[in-house]
Amino acid sequence: MMQCHHLQRNKVLLLFILFSAALPSITSAYANNNNNEAKPKPLMRAWMCSGKTQRDMVDKLAQAGIVKSAINKEALLRVDRKNYVLRTQQGDSAHQDSPLPIGFGQTISAPHMHAQVLEDLLPPLLAASKDRPDKLLKILDVGCGSGYLTAVFGRMVESKENRRKSTPLNEGKVFGIDVVPELVHMSKTNVMKEDGDLLDSGTVEFMLRDGWKGYPENAPYNAIHVGAAAATFPKQLMMQLAPGGVMVVPVGPDGGIQYLYRVERVGDGGAVVGVDESKGFQEDDYELYRVLGVRYVPLVQKD
């Protein structure tokens, strides 16, 4: 759901600040690089991992050091990107390392960006599996678009009987939501091409929802991915993270400077949707890290 230009991963200190009365309920964050580098460097070999097949593309992502985990590599190998692009793109374009339009003003992200997201979200899934080996993992994919990344998440947490390789991840559920009805339908149609077992087993579900509000009915989530740029940090989504959970979200104005952030929930002093919603939002519950400079389409807010 984005187009992106990379800068270097930087951990930053952030201060949450409430906007003026014109935007009384929106939280903003201001950040400074903690390593004082004047100009962050691009991710090495990003945009250079195009292939002729899914395996060719994934192998190049691994060779470039963008796909690092065997778990993520296996999941990417099992979901062919050609099934999630438009029919006119199903030739050589399907495995190019570039974003592609999917209609309705949206895009499917470049493969190297999907790989980056998977690497950022795998650690909290592994930690939750280790801490609670009998508990289902929950993943929320906000702005599911054509359904591709939702299906990849599904392969990561599908039933252990269906996995081609044993992994330490618990079984889980993945919820793909989008505000555009046609994209929800497209996601379901695309998954049914070769990954229909994910729907049949209930591992993956798609539904029409406002991405800013998330899907509180099944919160809290161990991982949340937001596939479009939020103008400010989405507090309702942040409160749907389980303690120890991580959200990857692009933040910044449409057409302006945007960064991909990793939001880690380190406390439960505030509301945890689905557990205790009475406390309200607490900034100290979260640590934020600026990952990459990006260019995304905006996260649509439903009236």
Contact 263, 247 (CB under 8 A): yes
Q: HEC states along 21-50?
A: CCCCCCEEEEEEECCCCCCCCCCCCCCCCC
Q: Is 109 marked active-site?
A: yes
d(CA 72, CA 51): 18
The residue annotated as part of the active site, out of 109, 129, 146, 187, is 109
Closest to 4 in 3D by CA, of 299, 280, 292: 292
Sequence-distant contacts of 19-24: CB under 8 A, at least 24 apart: 19/232, 23/232
Contact 89, 50 (CB under 8 A): no
Contact 175, 215 (CB under 8 A): yes
* Tokens of residue 256, six digits: 């302006």
User: Which residues are annotated as catalytic?
Assistant: 109
